[in-house]
């Protein structure tokens, strides 16, 4: 899959012979109703597996995927939260500092889509200017005709909550890698552009360390 990067980001990375652009870390959090398929989406991407049996997430789970993007190391932290009401408080304490909020719903359960604006609002309260994705799962369960209607509604909703819409299936793997690679390229771009911005500003320097490095952006 071909990833598109901002030309300034490409230049900065191409000139990074001395490794001055260090490790970038991105925190992504998945939120959404019970059993919409959050854990399956992560397991499909991180471990290439799919399990038909439902095992509820207790509180939160966590995975790290390591990439090299344009020769710069990039770690994607993926936080899987529980959809069950009784774990909501625990899960919410892990939203803090997220760079990406992935609001998940089940394409075969329209109710789960109607709850996504609330999930988004709760998660974004503690996130830091995050990219927002609206992800419809279980695409394999809906017919093409039904999908066309749901897609129309989902795009409208995505527009309202400032999100990018993706439809995926963790069962077949459709769009899963494409979705995560898109997420990685967007957040990598943003991290590098932030760093370039910070470098331009003399007040942003503490001794010889850049604030962005100090903050691990």
Helix (H) or strand (E) holding 92: helix 88-92
Name which of 119 and 188 has its Cβ closer to ligand GTP: 119
Q: Is 42 in contact with 25 (CB distance < 8 Å)? A: no
Q: Which is nearer to ligand GTP, 104 or 163 (CB)?
A: 104
Q: Decide if 57 contacts 38 (C-beta within 8 A).
A: yes
Q: Are 43 and 51 in contact (CB under 8 A)?
A: yes
141 belongs to the binding site for ligand GTP (CB under 6 A): yes
CA distance readout (Å), 158 to 1, 97, 153, 162: 24, 22, 9, 6
The stretch among 63-71, 81-89, 113-121, 181-189 that binds ligand GTP (CB under 6 A) is 81-89
CB of 77 to ligand GTP, least distance (A): 17
Q: How far is the CB of 189 from ligand GTP (least distance, A)?
A: 28
Does position 140 bind ligand GTP by CB under 6 A?
Answer: yes
Residues interacting with ligand GTP, by CB under 6 A?
A: 34-40, 51-54, 56-57, 82-84, 137-138, 140-141, 169-171
């Amino acid at each position: 899959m071909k990833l598109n990067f901002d030309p300034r980001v490409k230049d900065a990375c191409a000139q990074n012979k001395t490794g001055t652009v260090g490790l970038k870390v991105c925190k992504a959090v998945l939120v959404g109703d019970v059993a919409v398929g959050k854990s399956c989406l992560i397991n499909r991407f991180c471990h290439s597996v799919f399990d038909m049996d439902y095992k509820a997430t207790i509180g939160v789970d966590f995975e790290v995927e390591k990439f090299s993007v344009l020769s710069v190391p990039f770690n994607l932290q993926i936080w899987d939260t529980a959809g069950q009401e009784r774990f909501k408080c625990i899960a919410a304490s892990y939203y803090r500092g997220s760079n990406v909020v992935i609001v998940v719903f089940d394409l075969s359960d329209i109710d789960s889509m109607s709850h996504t604006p609330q999930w988004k609002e709760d998660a974004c309260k503690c996130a830091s200017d995050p990219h927002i994705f609206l992800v419809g799962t279980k695409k394999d369960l809906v017919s093409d005709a039904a999908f066309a209607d749901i897609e129309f509604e989902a795009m409208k909703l995505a527009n309202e909550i400032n999100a990018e819409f993706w439809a995926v299936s963790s069962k077949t793997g459709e769009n899963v890698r494409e979705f995560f690679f898109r997420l990685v390229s967007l957040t990598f771009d943003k991290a590098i552009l932030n760093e370039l911005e910070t470098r331009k500003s003399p007040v942003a320097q503490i001794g010889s360390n850049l604030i962005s490095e100090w903050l691990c952006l």
